[in-house]
Amino acid sequence: MQKHPSSETAGSILRPTTPPDIGQRTQRQRIIDAIVDSCAEKTYAATTITDIVARAHISRTTFYKQFDDKRACFDAAVGHCIDQLQEVAAAAHSDSDPPGDAVRKATEAVIEALAARPGVAQLLTGDAIAVDPMVVERYRRATIPALEAIWSREPGSAEGHTDPRLAFGQAQVLIFNQIATGKPERLPELLPEIVYLAVSPFGGHEEAIRQSRLARKAAPDGPGSA
Amino acid sequence: MTEGPEDLRRWRLPRGRHGLPRELVERSQRERLHAAVVRVTVENGYEATTVADILGEAGVGRESFYELFDDKLDCMLAAQKILVDDLEGRVRDAYLDEGPWPERMRKALGVTLDWFAADPEAARFTLIELSAVGPAFRSVFKDQFARFIELLEEGLDDDTPYPELAAATSLAVGATMARLYEEVMLDRTTELPRLLPDLTYDLLVPFVGEEAARAEQRRASASS
């Protein structure tokens, strides 16, 4: 599959710098990258501090200077990933886009970013659920108002459509299922469905279908190919 | 399941020589261990649960345990399989019954919500505790997801509105799982059946659009 260039604003969590730069990244950032990669490989439950420090090329002492424990490190990683994805989403559309287009563009950018760094998808859809539901709640609270804000430019939307909280959970389940099948690089194949879920609660079914068609066109290796 | 975990827990074989065939003894032990692993992991969490905890709860000896299972995880996965087989069987009966497709969808959903509500411990086990077992959860998850998609597709007929979205069935399974997960997490498992009308709506919209889904939602409200 052709890799789509992701947004320039994507920082190191989504486009990790390669070993030559390793010394320049902050220790904290290296630790966060390390826990993301370790969770992707063996999940949060099986990740140990030893795994993290080995991947980050740091000492245990350095780890404990930055974080109290594995859970604190995980929370920081989740927070960081959410911030990064929000930046990616925000950079992908402009105020002049009609709401449906804006949501589709933001969704496409987020899914591309997740496909490029599947560890982040595993962290946010698989481990976050296993570790603590409040983690999920935190980024649901960050996402739904952002969508609402986009639609607020169009009065009268968000009436009688599908439930945005549920749509968020659905997207999470679909993304995790793709991770669980061991083919995270095929996440973009889910674009029509994820775009539908993102648009439907505020724009309604018809608009969601229209946007999902556009998303399908944008993803040449969509469902059914491969 | 013909016997819920509650019944299984009360089922003890008489001590000493009871003359029961070996096969029956093993079956009883297996079932008690399944019930015990559900109960103990829900109480302690996966990480903190030991084989000794499971043995204590089941009233089964260590040797018998290891004759039946490799380890704690093996026992959990076996219990999970029994629970999901039972759920799938019930959903299948409701869904592949006579009647128009939206109605069969609503009934299948109703059976699902009732099943989880009837046993909050099993609900917690199957949706939450199992997700903490590490990489093994991924394959359990994808297999179960695929299984329910398959069932959903099996019940589509010529009258089923053709959804424009290729993976509309996965939206339906995803919606059900997401809602179940959230309600169980918030300890509202016993109230799940109340969500039938709204969830029917959310499930049907991608297939039939908002107006037709609204009609089925009203029927769900009227029937509950």
Domain boundaries, chain B: 5-69, 76-223
Rounded (5°) CA angle B35-B16-B18:
80
The two tokens of residue B216 are 């089925």
The answer to whether residue A20 scores a pLDDT higher than 90 is: no
The answer to whether residue A152 scores a pLDDT higher than 80 is: yes
The answer to whether residue A7 scores a pLDDT higher than 60 is: no
pLDDT digits (tens, 9 = 90+) for B36-91: 999 999 999 888 999 999 999 999 999 999 999 999 999 999 999 999 999 999 99
Residue A124 backbone phi and psi in degrees, to 5: -85, -25
For residue A182, list chain B residues with Cβ-Cβ distance below 8 A: 138
For residue B174, list chain A residues with Cβ-Cβ distance below 8 A: 169-171, 173-174, 177
Q: Which residue on chain B is closest to A41 by alpha carbon?
A: B135
Q: Cα–Cα distance between A146 and B198 in angstroms, integer?
A: 24
pLDDT digits (tens, 9 = 90+) for B101-145: 999 999 999 999 999 999 999 999 999 888 888 888 889 999 999
Neighbours of A119 (CB within 10 A): 24
Where helices occur in chain A by DSSP H, the ranges are 27-46, 49-56, 60-66, 70-91, 99-116, 118-121, 128-131, 133-151, 164-180, 191-218
pLDDT digits (tens, 9 = 90+) for B22-38: 777 777 889 999 999 99
For residue B164, list chain A residues with Cβ-Cβ distance below 8 A: 209, 212-213
The two tokens of residue A26 are 């902050």
> Who among B174, B181, B206 is closest to A174 (CB)?
B174
> Who among B165, B202, B209 is closest to A163 (CB)?
B202
Q: Which of B78, B84, B175 is nearest to B133 (CA)?
A: B78
Q: Which residue on chain B is closest to A208 by alpha carbon?
A: B206
Domain B76-223, CATH number (from 1.10.10.10, 1.20.1260.10, 1.10.357.10, 3.40.50.300): 1.10.357.10
Q: Tell me, which fold does domain B5-69 have in CATH? A: Arc Repressor Mutant, subunit A (1.10.10)
For residue A165, list chain B residues with Cβ-Cβ distance below 8 A: 182
What does the buried/exposed string (b/e) look like for B20-40 if buried means 16 or more CB atoms within 10 Å of the residue's CB? Answer: eeeeeeeebbbbbbbbbbbbb
pLDDT digits (tens, 9 = 90+) for A23-48: 546 889 999 999 999 988 888 888 99
Instruction: Tell me how far CA of residue B27 lies from CA of A127, B19, B21, B64, B158, in angstroms.
Output: 35, 15, 10, 11, 43
The minimum CA-CA distance between A25 and chain B, rounded to whole Å, is 29
Provide the residue type at A12 as one letter: S
Residues 6+ apart with CB under 8 A from B22: none
For an interface test with B, which of A51, A69, A174, A207 has the most B Cβ atoms less than 10 Å from its Cβ?
A174
Is A129 within 8 Å of B131 when comparing Cβ atoms?
yes
Q: Cα–Cα distance between B118 and B184 in angstroms, integer?
A: 12
- Predicted local distance difference test score (pLDDT) of residue A200: 94
Residue found under tokens 């509202």: B188
The two tokens of residue A87 are 């930046």
Instruction: Output the DSSP codes for A124-142.
Output: IIIIHHHH-HHHHHHHHHH
- Using a CB–CB cut-off of 8 Å, the residues of A that contact B are 42-43, 45-46, 126, 129-131, 133, 160-163, 165-166, 168-174, 176-177, 179-182, 190, 192-193, 196-197, 200, 204-206, 209, 212-213, 223-224
Q: Which residue on chain A is closest to B178 by alpha carbon?
A: A169
Angle between helices A164-180 and A191-218 (to 10 degrees): 80
The answer to whether residue A187 scores a pLDDT higher than 70 is: yes
Residue B73 belongs to what H/E stretch? helix B72-95
For residue A162, list chain B residues with Cβ-Cβ distance below 8 A: 201-202, 205
pTM, two decimals, is: 0.84
SS3 letters across A23-37: CCCCHHHHHHHHHHH
Q: Cα–Cα distance between A5 and A116 in angstroms, integer?
A: 9
Q: Which of B69, B65, B71, B76 is nearest to B122 (CA)?
A: B76
Cβ atoms of B65 and B51 closer than 8 Å: yes
Q: Cα–Cα distance between A196 and B130 in angstroms, integer?
A: 29
Is B170 within 8 Å of A177 when comparing Cβ atoms?
yes
Q: Cα–Cα distance between B190 and B193 in angstroms, integer?
A: 8
